[in-house]
Amino acid sequence: MSTPTSRYESPSNEQDLVLAWIRRARESQLTHYAMAEKLSKMERWFGVPVIIITAVVGTSVFSSITTDAISPIAKVAVGMTSIAAAVLSALQTFFKHAERAEKHRSSGARFASVRRKLEAVYARHEEENERSYVDTLRDELDRLAEDAPNVPEKEFQKIQRRELDQESHSRTFDN
């Protein structure tokens, strides 16, 4: 099966290069925003149960202090619930979903900024100033790629497919 990345053709001139960078910056921007959203959802999936379970355990422990007639089964249930809360809390801390989501959000915003600059270069197309500005933007894209958190290939390809579908859809209505 052909993937969007297998259709790559090397740009033949500087305008095509800038256009390719615009497309790649947009894909990276959208992919990082999608990852940020996905990680934020995962943070909530861990966070909400931890809050609920911790509240239940706290209430159970408080009520057991005032009552001497607690059955062994209830004590085990409270203990197991407490362990579940501790495990979920530890996993939430270990996976750092919120921190990773913020890094992806930041990378998405930085890719968006570079994309807008590239679009301005593409729209102006002033040969004498363009070359040095393109070099500067290339360096900025390189730094961004180095600093950006990793995005799973599957997520990146999902965005590429969606963008290709939108391009072909808009071309259908433009004709």
What is the token pair recorded at 6?
Answer: 């297998």
CA 91/CA 39 separation, integer angstroms: 13
Report CA 155 to chain centroid distance, whole Å: 9
Which amino acid type is present at position 67?
A: T
Which amino acid type is present at position 89?
A: S
What is the token pair recorded at 30?
Answer: 């959208």
Which parts of the chain register pLDDT below 70? 1-8, 62-68, 126-130, 169-175
pLDDT in tens, 8-23: 678 888 888 889 999 9
pLDDT of 150: 92
CA 40/CA 15 separation, integer angstroms: 37
Helix (H) or strand (E) holding 76: helix 72-95
pLDDT of 170: 67
The runs of H, that is alpha helices, within the chain are 14-66, 72-95, 97-124, 127-147, 153-174
pLDDT of 80: 85
**Domain extent listing, the chain:** 13-153
DSSP assignment, residue 126? Answer: -
Largest separation between any pair of C-alpha atoms in the chain: 87
- Counted residue by residue, the chain has a size of 175
